[in-house]
Amino acid sequence: MVSRTNGFFVRDWSLGLGWNNMRYILEAAVLQASLLNRTLIIPSFIYARACEYPIEVCAEYAPMVNKGDAVGWEEWRSLPTEQQMGWRIPISLMVNITQIREKHPVILISDWLRMHGRSPDEERSNGMWHRDFYHASASVFEEDETKTPSLFVVENRWYDPQNVIRVDRIPDDMKERGYWEPEGGNEDAGERGHWPVQPETKVSEHLDAIAGDNAFMDFDSAKQALQEGITGVVWDLSSDEKIINLLRDNGWEVLYTYKAPWGDYTKTVVEPLLQVVRRSAIRGWVDEYAREKADVLLLAGETHLYRKPGAMRFTTRERSYDFQDTVLNYIVSVAAYDVLAFRLAQRMRARVDGRLWMGAHMRRGDFVRNGWAMEKDPKIHVERVKDRLASGRQVLESLKQKRLVPYDIPGMRVSREFVERDAPWSTDPFYIATDERDPEALRIIAEHGAVFLKDLLTMDDLREFGWPLLLTDCRAVVEQHLLARSAYFYAHILSSVAGGIVNLRAAAGADARTALVD
């Protein structure tokens, strides 16, 4: 598997983050490794951050650690002791490694250590790639025992500093338009190759004024800016094709990404978005680092916040669809989660007499503590959820009279269930996934009609799935798959959990109008 690639790619993994953040960091890493045709190295374990029972119960099944000590963060130090604990579990409990390998070669850090004559127990607890220790021994397959693996570090500040737009690769026609030179560039910023300075035009100056400090804007905004124009200047804007050509002739390029508003916390990949970018701001991942010959290429630090899914934009629509396919069909949970979710969905349907049912994610816990929850008071919060679901019920009622609308995924069709089953009644119960654990708050939410995971799980489910269901993090993945099967879904826009559910819904054939994330 490894021999088919040009060495290895690894990142500093932020193991202090929750699973959904780790998941979309993994999605970006698979993309970055595949573009360079390097075998990806991922952590052997993650930390589950909460136990559904007294912490000693989970400690019987997975090593319990102080999260702050394990990853070196101070985030949890002021919390009660039980909330500072985490449980180290194999990453293979959360993601299907075999399925990822169908798309691109991947190994674990423990595999790397074994490959170099080391014990897997020597894997660092914080997920950081050890620049020295991990490179101190030759591979067991290497005849020359003095040949230790070489390392090249892509410094964090090089990835996409201010006014730089990272893309997958720069196409030849774009290089030709902008006279791109493969050598030179700002060494302090890690730049390899550069765009020679081009004279400004009225179009480029006009767009610069609109974009301000940003090096990009949505295509529709650029189109409107050009339509409003400049007094005395006339442009041919009779088609999108002519607008794109006008942009290209004046130093701006069209790139492909996905709608993911409010800082891109959700990282959804199901609504393609066209953006325009100053050509001089574009830097290609392949163009800069495919030439590197070191055994291991390391991306230092973290790059997931405030970035688009994949941590880069794409220069062709085909590549954006390919990444979408990777996220939806290859970086997926192990099958046991979906098997259990299917069973729970049948029980939820029985509670509404076979009608379509609705659900929501109510992020409480740390969101309440940090002031991110939509409503602090559980009563007001669940009333907000019910209000959104009431609108969702109207959407579901209207689908029988409308054409079903799939998400923008090649070949996708909407499930016929949306028109073959009756819409929910206003009195129907609805499913709530939440990290709220205060008994009084849960009582209030339940009194408003909510059904929780504990209401659907049976002892047989627990026995069949096994000990991971002791961990709240694993239960949350079950709930994501369950809500992917709901007819209508509502959640908070600042949560990566919501983005994971929307992606799952899209892949399962949901109508694009049956989810609201606000």
In a domain, 317, yes or no: no
DSSP 471: B
Question: Count of domains in the chain?
Answer: 3
Say if residue 504 is in the same domain as residue 356: yes
Q: Which of 264, 289, 314 is the last residue of a domain?
A: 289
In a domain, 101, yes or no: yes
* Secondary structure (3-state) at 255: strand
> 330 and 99 in contact (C-beta within 8 Å)?
yes
Say if residue 107 is in the same domain as residue 179: no
* Secondary structure (3-state) at 283: strand
Mean pLDDT (the chain) is 94
Percent of the chain whose predicted confidence (pLDDT) is above 70: 98
- Whether the predicted pLDDT of 168 surpasses 80: yes
Structure tokens of 480? 């994501």
- How much is the pTM? 0.95
Mean pLDDT across the stretch 483-495? 93
Beta bridge partners of 491: 517
Structure tokens of 311? 């941590």
In a domain, 202, yes or no: yes
In a domain, 115, yes or no: yes
pLDDT in tens, 193-219: 999 999 999 999 999 998 888 889 999
Say if residue 379 is in the same domain as residue 492: yes
Q: Which of 149, 183, 214 is the last residue of a domain?
A: 149
Say if residue 380 is in the same domain as residue 486: yes
Structure tokens of 243? 């607008």
Say if residue 132 is in the same domain as residue 168: no
In a domain, 391, yes or no: yes
Structure tokens of 434? 């939440």
Residue whose C-alpha is closest to residue 284's, from 173, 198, 155, 175: 175
Range of the domain at 114: 2-149
The number of C-alpha atoms within 13 Å of 301 and in the hemisphere containing its C-beta is 9
Task: State in Å, rounded, how far the first CA of the chain is from the last one.
Answer: 43
Say if residue 66 is in the same domain as residue 169: no
Say if residue 460 is in the same domain as residue 509: yes
In a domain, 465, yes or no: yes
The CA distances from residue 285 to 133, 155, 159, 327, 505, in Å, are 27, 13, 9, 19, 31
Say if residue 393 is in the same domain as residue 271: no
- Whether the predicted pLDDT of 416 surpasses 70: yes
In a domain, 308, yes or no: no
CATH of the domain at 344: 3.40.50
Predicted confidence band of residue 111 (pLDDT cuts 50, 70, 90): very high
- Whether the predicted pLDDT of 372 surpasses 70: no
Predicted confidence band of residue 261 (pLDDT cuts 50, 70, 90): low
Give the DSSP letter string of 182-234: SS---GGGT--SBPPP----HHHHHHHHHHTT-SEEEHHHHHHHHHH--TT--
Say if residue 357 is in the same domain as residue 483: yes
In a domain, 469, yes or no: yes
Q: Which of 93, 120, 149 is the last residue of a domain?
A: 149
Say if residue 185 is in the same domain as residue 73: no
CA distance 21 to 476: 13
Say if residue 475 is in the same domain as residue 410: yes
> Cα–Cα–Cα angle for 235, 241, 245, nearest 5°?
60
Give the DSSP letter string of 339-364: HHHHHHHHHHHHHTTTS--EEEEE--
Say if residue 235 is in the same domain as residue 346: no
Integer-rounded Cα Rg, in Å, for the chain is 25
Structure tokens of 214? 């940003």
